[in-house]
């Protein structure tokens, strides 16, 4: 029996199925949060568009400042008003934070350094030109790229877009994800269950994960353990998505019907298992219509782990982003038992001191303790425990 691929080998094979991004669409600014920018946002004018006062105080010519010598106040400038271009020599103006500094004036002195009278006396004897002034164009010049393409749009990017008058943004189309869960023992979340039945935790969990990955969920369905019904549901979903997630029913048991549906649907497999725990039965392939099909294990922790380890990178690749997850080095807060044959990925909690704690592994059905963790820790393949203080890789759950 051939050996199973390592996680990096399996992920590379899965990513090879992504041929290109899914095109672009235009969305209004108020619908662009968390979307991937397809084209850069350019500055439509210098930013700031004028020499801007950085504090409340007095604008003046730095060379005219003399300690204790009164200076006439030639007016006041509020934010949102045009600057007066006729400030006489030897005079200053009161100015508000964010207001334009009049031409010829080159410094701003805070109120606290004055007696606030008219004429005003200052308590400082000198000040540098440019003090407390944010110069025109200091942040960006007209035509500069202020938000590059392929940026995942966060609040600060939307603020920049608004400042530039970019109210319609070109973004990458989100992958459409269909989710098929399976199992006669699985009941809807709102159902009354018998002792031998379980509620469907995978459907809402994976739908939310897919959205956090950057996809849009277009179809969710639960199918019974029936070959014909599974094949029909698979064919129906396959025509309505870019990425299909089947959950459970991917092993070799008599009641595992998704492999048969894959064959009927002409799915070509690139990954048929991986040397990882949890997630050994993971499958990834591509249907004739180009849809990528990922078969996730049915145990919820396995499904969640495989979603992060495989589905997240696939979605990122479809969005034109770097697919490789941002693993970071962390140290273990206590010893952890790994897997001697397979790469173990364990839900882990991030401590305040930066270390990670891995709860005792109770199997891939223990979703309750997984809910108290912050991400996945990657453990080395070895027989002995991984000791306290050992460095391991950690990736946070998608947010």
Assign residue 309 the CATH number of its domain: 3.40.980.10
Does one domain contain both 186 and 291? Answer: yes
359 and 266 inside one domain: no
pLDDT of residue 194: 86
Same domain, 162 and 204: no
Residue 253 has pLDDT above 70, yes or no: no
Q: Which residue has the higher pLDDT, 182 or 251?
A: 182
Residue 356: predicted pLDDT? 98
Evaluate whether residue 36 is within a structural domain: yes
How many domains does one find in the chain?
A: 3
For the chain, the first-to-last Cα distance in angstroms comes to: 39
Residues 6+ away with beta carbon under 8 Å from 268: 285, 286
pLDDT at 86: 84
* Sign of the C-alpha dihedral computed for residues 235, 240, 242 and 243 taken in this order: negative
Residue 299: is its pLDDT beyond 80? yes
Residue 2 pLDDT more than 80? no
Average pLDDT over residues 359-379: 93
Q: In this structure, is residue 109 part of a structural domain?
A: no
Does 241 fall in a domain?
Answer: yes
Q: pLDDT at residue 102 above 90? A: yes
| Residue 115: CB atoms within 10 Å | 12
- 374 and 300 inside one domain: no
Examine residue 55 and state whether it is found in any structural domain, yes or no. Answer: no
Instruction: Check whether residue 369 and residue 265 sit in a common domain.
Output: no
CATH of the domain at 378: 2.40.340.10
Q: Which domain holds residue 347?
A: 328-396
Taking the C-alpha atoms of residue 285 and residue 303, their distance in angstroms, rounded to an integer, is 17
Q: Is 235 in the same domain as 337?
A: no
Query: Within this chain, do residues 187 and 237 fall inside the same structural domain, yes or no?
Result: yes
> Averaged over 293-319, what is the pLDDT?
97
Q: Is 383 inside a domain boundary?
A: yes
* Segment 140-162, tens digit of pLDDT: 999 999 999 999 999 999 999 99
**Domain boundary, last residue among 255, 288, 318:** 318
pLDDT of 252 over the 70 cut: no
Let me know whether 189 and 256 are in one domain. Answer: yes
Question: What's the CA dihedral at 112, 117, 121, 126 to 10 degrees?
Answer: 40
Please, are residues 146 and 43 in contact by the beta-carbon 8 Å criterion?
Answer: yes
Mean residue pLDDT of the chain comes to 95
Q: Return the structure tokens found at 99.
A: 């207001």
User: Residue 36 maps to which CATH number?
Assistant: 3.90.105.10
| 255: pLDDT strictly greater than 70 | no
pLDDT for 125 = 86
Q: Is residue 345 part of a domain?
A: yes
CA neighbor of 276 nearest in space, from 378, 356, 200: 378
3-state secondary structure of 227: helix
**CA distance linking residue 196 with residue 185, whole number of Å:** 7
Residues of the chain above pLDDT 70, percent: 98
Structure tokens at 284: 């990834």
pLDDT in tens, 382-394: 999 999 999 999 9
Any domain includes 348: yes
Q: Please check whether residues 232 and 294 belong to one and the same domain.
A: yes
Q: Within this chain, do residues 185 and 256 fall inside the same structural domain, yes or no?
A: yes
pLDDT at 186: 86
Residue 29 shares a structural domain with residue 164: yes
* pLDDT on residue 314: 98
Q: Who has greater pLDDT, 17 or 196?
A: 17
Specify whether 202 is located in the same domain as 286: yes
Token pair belonging to 157: 């990017």
pTM of the model: 0.91
In this predicted structure, the answer to whether residue 85 has a pLDDT above a threshold of 80 is no
Confidence of residue 191 (pLDDT cuts 50, 70, 90): confident
The answer on pLDDT for 64 being more than 60 is yes
Q: Is residue 17 part of a domain?
A: yes
Give SS3 for 322.
coil
Q: What is the pLDDT of residue 189?
A: 85
Helix (H, G, I), strand (E, B) or coil at 272: strand
pLDDT of residue 1 exceeding 60, the answer is no
């Amino acid at each position: 029996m051939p050996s199973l691929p390592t996680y990096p080998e399996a992920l590379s094979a899965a990513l090879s199925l992504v041929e290109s991004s899914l095109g672009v669409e235009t969305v209004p600014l108020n619908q662009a949060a968390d979307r991937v920018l397809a084209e850069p946002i350019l500055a439509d004018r210098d930013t700031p568009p004028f020499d801007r006062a950085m504090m409340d105080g007095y604008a003046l010519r730095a060379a005219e400042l003399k300690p204790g010598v009164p200076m006439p106040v030639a007016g006041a400038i509020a934010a949102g008003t045009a600057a007066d271009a006729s400030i006489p020599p030897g005079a200053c103006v009161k100015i508000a934070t964010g207001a334009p500094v009049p031409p010829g004036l080159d410094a701003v002195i805070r109120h606290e350094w004055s007696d606030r009278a008219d004429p005003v006396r200052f308590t400082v004897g000198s000040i540098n030109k440019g003090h407390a002034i944010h110069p025109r164009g200091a942040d960006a010049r007209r035509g500069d790229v202020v938000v590059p393409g392929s940026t995942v749009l966060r609040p600060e990017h939307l603020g920049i877009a608004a400042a530039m008058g970019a109210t319609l943004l070109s973004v990458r189309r989100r992958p459409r994800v269909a989710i098929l869960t399976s199992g006669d023992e699985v009941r809807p979340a709102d159902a009354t269950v018998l002792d031998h039945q379980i509620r469907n935790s995978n459907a809402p969990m994976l739908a939310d994960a897919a959205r956090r990955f950057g996809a849009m969920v277009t179809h969710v369905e639960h199918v019974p353990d029936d070959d014909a019904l599974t094949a029909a549901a698979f064919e129906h979903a396959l025509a309505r998505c870019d990425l299909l997630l089947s959950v459970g029913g991917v092993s070799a048991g008599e009641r595992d019907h998704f492999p048969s549906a894959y064959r009927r649907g002409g799915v070509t497999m690139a990954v048929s298992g991986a040397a990882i725990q949890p997630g050994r039965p993971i499958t990834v392939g591509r249907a004739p219509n180009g849809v990528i099909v990922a078969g996730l294990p049915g145990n919820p922790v396995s499904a969640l782990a495989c979603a992060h380890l495989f589905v997240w990178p696939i979605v990122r690749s479809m969005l034109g982003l770097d697919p490789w997850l941002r693993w970071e080095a962390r140290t273990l807060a206590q010893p952890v038992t790994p897997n001697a044959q397979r790469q173990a990925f364990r839900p882990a909690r991030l401590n305040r001191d930066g270390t990670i704690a891995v709860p005792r592994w109770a199997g891939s059905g223990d979703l309750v303790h997984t809910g108290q963790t912050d991400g996945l820790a990657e453990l080395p393949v070895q027989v002995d425990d991984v000791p306290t203080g050992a460095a391991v890789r950690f990736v946070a759950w998608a947010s």
